[in-house]
Amino acid sequence: MSGKSINVVIGGAAGQGLVTIGQLLSKAVVRAGHHLLVTQRYMSRVRGGLNTYAIRMGGEDLSGGTESIDILAALNAEAFSRHVGDVVDGGLVVAGTDFETGEREALRIPFEELAPKPLFHNTVMLGVLGRTIGLERGILEDLLRQTFGRKGEEVIGANLEVLRNAYAWASDRDYGFSRRVGPGSGPGRMMLNGNEAIALGALAAGCNFVSYYPMTPSSSVAMTLIAKGAPLGLQYEQAEDELAAMNMAMGASYAGARTLVTTSGGGFALMGEAVSLAGVSETPVVCIVVQRPGPATGMATRTEQADLDLVLHAGHGEFPRAVFAPATPEECFYLTHRAFDLAETYQTPVFVLSEQYLADSYRDVEPFDLDGLPEVARPLLEWNGGEYKRYAETEDGVSPRLVPGFSEALVRADSHEHDESSRVTEDKAVRVNQNSKRLRKESGLFEEVIGPDYYGGENADVLLVCWGPTLGACLEAVDRYEGDKSLAVLHFKQVYPLREEQFMDFLESAGRVVAVEGNATAQFARVIAGETGFVIPDRVLRFDGRAMTWEYVLKGLTDIL
Amino acid sequence: MVSIEEYGDFDTSWCPGCGNFLILKSLKQALAVQGIAPRDVIISSGIGQAAKLPHYLRCNMFNGLHGRALPVAQGIKMANPEAAVLCVSGDGCTYGEGGNHFLAAIRRNIDLTLLVHDNQIYGLTKGQASPTSARGHVTKAQPEGNRSDAFNPVSVAVAMKAGFVARAFSGEPEHLSEVIREAMAYKGFSLVDILQPCVSFNKVNTYGWYSQRVYFPQNHDPSDWGAAMVLSEEFGDRIPLGIIYRAEKPVFGLGARLAEHEYDKNDLKAVLQSYT
Ligand SMILES: Cc1ncc(C[n+]2csc(CCOP(=O)(O)OP(=O)(O)O)c2C)c(N)n1
Ligand code: SF4
């Protein structure tokens, strides 16, 4: 049993309240000063099925999810039978008394005894789990008070009593689980998931317009923006479809809003036409694409990294773009903020490519530093420079972007090939000039590329190349690797454009390079090959809809090495 | 006062005699009469002959994609509630490619005016049937006659209780201009479906064809939804012009001009604080 972390998995049917229990428990874990990583697996249904809410807590930074379970809280028989095999030696199973657990020793909670009504079963479970992992009762009580604050004293009182009873009941049992994690970096940290962090990064960048069409697992980006931003002046609309969402974003951005759209692969496929429009009309927009397995409707609630090709090639014609792929909520926040600055500066679409695993996994993070963020570029509201030409040909390809309606100068944006003054043209020289002007913006974007992060010693025997949230699994795999080779990780959080000089040395000096990706065809390895000519020969690929884990990476490495 | 000249005078790529010219002229007239300066007008258009209109007008414009002019127009108005926002495009663009957007725009009721140049044909792609072409209308692409029923945008808009629904004819420019003015003055989504002869590709619905049929109904009360429904159905031997339906209804609420909007840092800090 590893002493580093405790992995608590709550499993049950949708509608059984496992998310409520999980969220309260997670928040308590963070408030108690521990690090945490929550991964959720759920099925595409509102009731029933088997969902899990896994809380991995530890005293040290946790990089990724894990498959072994220290405490399994089974809310039904299916959760028990499906996951009991993953419980480690010395681990604990917690269950009610309404189904059989066979030979397996388990802490059986008499829910009927401890709760006056089924409504309180969640609170019972919270009390028992809180006690088994050694949380102070006061932290749990404060949380309940906050959670039920609006429902009045009576509800709070009743829940507090149930909590105390459950906590006391668990204190009286000897359930043979005594492992504790040391404190992490103390209280005061934020707890949030990737999608929430993207929304907050957008708000921090001044995003004040979001149009979207709901699609799991991207919707919570928009939901968070609306919940937090609308009271502060953000405009939002649930469009009739993705075509409308992206075009609405075009209109808003042209008229001076700082604009975001959010969707997943299937919806993004529909947005492609207007991505091209953003390119030619030079309209800034930040597109959040939260991946799930495809093709087509794929697996709505599972994860994959297979939309990189789509995002890289979305839109007909040629125009500049940048693509970020955050690994953690911190990166979600800071890279989304940066995406706004790039979109605004270069007047082109910029993408943040996330995935379901990151979207739904909660972590504890250092509170984001608003004061330390760089300013985001803004369009012009006034024009005193003589005749205004929306598509003036400049050296860096960036034309002054004026907002219509604020000055006498007229602002004319166009989807056709056009001249500097937006007149439609088929003149070959003008076409070449304008297309070249737009593509010149690529040099600016290129200058601003964030290079990959390298983790490990020089000239490693094996270099794992990954992008996006696959980082966590790679880092932990390196950590837990017990063989005789030296391992290192090269992680890309910006996947396009690429600057060879930022990473070629790492690739060339490693003994062996292995691409680790959440897709079946090593899409990013192909991007590297296309951009640099460097072919990564070995791969660990996962495309079963589940997030990469360190166990999966190590197993893959064993097969290769 | 704003003079018509301020809206400029441009060469166009429209065919001589096309109904589009009179629509452009009527629009200029309506803008000038209302005293709206070019800087305060933003026109969104799609693709097609009609959609070229903002290229022939001094104003702000976003000439976007086929079928997508309405979402763009709504985005513009959401970001700048002070601008006079118009959406101008053809029947194919608006009711065909953009059909779903048309329905949604009516339901959403953002304050803007949609002008549809309804020539019952695809002009720019050289004469295929459009959603408003009559069943049986023969074209090169529909040699045995159009096999679908015509879409009646006015009926659909009235059925959906759009707040302002009008039909006009480019051959009646004074009336057209007046209807555009009223549509723009209306607070909410307004539709003016404009009969526009395409002299090159629609040999059926010609000036003469429309002229013989259009009439101005006397004693129609646009606030009477039932009467409007009946009137909107009339499209054949007689075609009524004017405001068919008009009602007050909740308008999509808008905020400040977003280009000037900035969050208070303390508000943002409080948002972040709510995650601890
Ligand atoms: C996505 C897309 N599909 C098709 C076209 C080709 N296209 C251009 S204009 C047009 C039809 C225009 O008809 P309408 O909207 O009635 O305008 P009109 O030319 O008659 O004024 C079509 C199909 C296009 N430009 N974009
Ligand atoms: S093709 Fe028809 S609609 Fe287009 S300009 Fe010519 S006459 Fe007008």
pLDDT tens digits for A146-170? 988 888 899 999 999 999 999 999 9
Chain B residues touching residue A274 (CB < 8 angstroms) = 65, 68
Sheet holding A349-355, edge to edge: A235-238, A209-212, A259-263, A285-291, A349-355, A322-324, A494-496
End-to-end Cα, chain B, rounded Å: 57
Burial call A411-421: b when 16+ CB within 10 Å, e when fewer:
bbbbbebbbbe
Length of chain B: 276
Q: How far is the CA of B14 from the centre of ligand 2 (A)?
A: 6
Mean pLDDT of chain A: 94
Using CA coordinates, name the residue in chain B closest to A228: B271
| One-character DSSP codes across A477-499 | HHHH--SSS-EEEEEESEEES--
Length of chain A: 561
Nearest to A269 by CA among A249, A240, A297: A297
> How confident is the model at residue A210, as a pLDDT?
98
| One-character DSSP codes across A193-255 | EHHHHHHHHHHHTT--EEEE---TTTHHHHHHHHHHHGGGT-EEEE-SSHHHHHHHHHHHHHT
Count of CB atoms situated within 10 Å of the CB of A371: 6
Count of CB atoms situated within 10 Å of the CB of A384: 9
The CA-based angle A493-A496-A501, given to 5 degrees, is 85
Atom 16 of ligand 1: nearest residue by CA position? B92
Choose the residue to mutate in B18, B47, B53, B88 for probing ligand 1, maximizing ligand atoms within 8 Å of C-beta. B47
Q: Measured between CA atoms, how close is B64 to chain A, in angstroms?
A: 5
> In 3-state terms, what secondary structure has residue B164?
strand
| A18-31 vs A137-147: helix crossing angle, rounded to 10 | 130
Token pair, residue A502, equals 């930022």
Token pair, residue B213, equals 């049929």
Contact B195, B208 (CB under 8 A): no
Contact B53, B231 (CB under 8 A): no
Beta bridge partners of A146: none
Report d(CA A417, CA A268) in Å as an integer: 24
Count of CB atoms situated within 10 Å of the CB of B200: 17
* Average pLDDT of span B184-212: 98
Least confident of A10-19, A78-87, A381-390: A10-19
* Average pLDDT of span B128-156: 97
Q: Is the pLDDT of residue A1 over 60?
A: no
* pTM for this predicted structure: 0.95
For A113, counting Cβ atoms within 10 Å of its Cβ (0-12 exposed, 13-18 middle, 19+ buried), the class is exposed
Element (H, E) at A472: helix A470-480
CA A200 vs CA A23, A207, A225: distances in Å: 19, 9, 7
> How confident is the model at residue A177, as a pLDDT?
83
Beta strands at B84-90 and B112-118: parallel, antiparallel or unpaired: parallel
* Average pLDDT of span A408-433: 98
Mean pLDDT of chain B: 97
Least confident of A112-116, A438-442, B172-176: A112-116
Least confident of A94-98, A262-266, B59-63, B120-124: A94-98
For A561, counting Cβ atoms within 10 Å of its Cβ (0-12 exposed, 13-18 middle, 19+ buried), the class is middle
Count of CB atoms situated within 10 Å of the CB of B220: 17
Q: Who's near A406: CB < 8 A, 6+ residues apart?
A: A256, A381, A382, B259
- Is residue B12 lining ligand 2, measured as CB closer than 6 Å? no
Atom 5 of ligand 1: nearest residue by CA position? B66
ipTM (interface predicted TM): 0.98
Report d(CA A129, CA A144) in Å as an integer: 15
Q: How far is the CA of B50 from the centre of ligand 1 (A)?
A: 9
Q: Percentage of residues in chain A with pLDDT exceeding 90? A: 85
| A121-132 vs A137-147: helix crossing angle, rounded to 10 | 150
Of the partner residues B76, B264, B275, the one whose CB lies closest to the CB of residue A254? B76
Count of CB atoms situated within 10 Å of the CB of A309: 14
Token pair, residue A505, equals 């040395």
For B183, counting Cβ atoms within 10 Å of its Cβ (0-12 exposed, 13-18 middle, 19+ buried), the class is buried
End-to-end Cα, chain A, rounded Å: 26
Q: Measured between CA atoms, how close is B190 to chain A, in angstroms?
A: 18
Check the CA dihedral A232-A233-A239-A245 and report its sign: negative
Using CA coordinates, name the residue in chain A closest to B77: A252
Local confidence band at A44 (pLDDT 50, 70, 90 cut-offs):
confident
> How confident is the model at residue A55, as a pLDDT?
94
Q: Name the CA dihedral angle for A405, A406, A410, A412, rounded to a multiple of 10 degrees.
A: -60
Q: Is the pLDDT of residue B76 over 60?
A: yes
> How confident is the model at residue A2, as a pLDDT?
40
Report d(CA A36, CA B139) in Å as an integer: 67
Highest mean pLDDT among A29-33, A90-94, B57-61: B57-61
Contact A96, A109 (CB under 8 A): yes
Q: Measured between CA atoms, how close is A453 to chain B, in angstroms?
A: 27
Token pair, residue A513, equals 């390079």
Q: Is the pLDDT of residue A182 over 50?
A: yes
- For chain A positions 191-230, those within 8 Å of chain B (CB to CB) are 191-192, 196, 200, 203-204, 206, 208-209, 211, 228
Please give the sequence-ordered ranges of beta strands (E in DSSP) within A275-410, or none if there are none: 285-291, 322-324, 349-355, 362-365
pLDDT tens digits for A262-310? 999 999 999 999 999 999 999 999 999 999 999 999 999 999 999 999 9
* Average pLDDT of span B179-194: 98
Contact B42, B54 (CB under 8 A): no
> In 3-state terms, what secondary structure has residue A268?
helix
Radius of gyration of chain A (CA): 26
Interface test with A, best of B13, B60, B102 (most A CBs within 10 A): B60
| One-character DSSP codes across B230-272 | HHHT--SS-EE-EEEEE---PPPP--S-GGG----HHHHHHHH
Report d(CA A234, CA A209) in Å as an integer: 6
Report d(CA A90, CA A379) in Å as an integer: 61
Sheet holding A462-467, edge to edge: A453-455, A487-492, A462-467, A512-517, A538-541
Find the farthest-apart pair of alpha carbons in chain A and give their distance in angstroms, rounded.
Answer: 85
Beta bridge partners of A191: A364
Contact B161, B235 (CB under 8 A): no
Q: Which ligand is nearest to the CA of B117?
A: 1
Contact B170, B180 (CB under 8 A): no
Q: Who's near B170: CB < 8 A, 6+ residues apart?
A: B19, B20, B21, B22, B23, B26, B117, B176, B194, B195, B196, B197
Contact B110, B70 (CB under 8 A): no
Atom 2 of ligand 2: nearest residue by CA position? B198
A253 at the B interface (CB within 8 A)?
yes
Residue with tokens 């059926």: B204
Report d(CA B231, CA B195) in Å as an integer: 16
Report d(CA A22, CA A44) in Å as an integer: 19
Contact B217, B131 (CB under 8 A): no
Report d(CA B167, CA A363) in Å as an integer: 58
User: What atom in ligand 1 is closest to the CA of residue B201?
Assistant: 20
Q: Is A508 left (phi over 0), alpha (psi -120 to 50) or beta?
A: alpha
Contact B32, B6 (CB under 8 A): yes
User: What atom in ligand 2 is closest to the CA of residue B196?
Assistant: 3
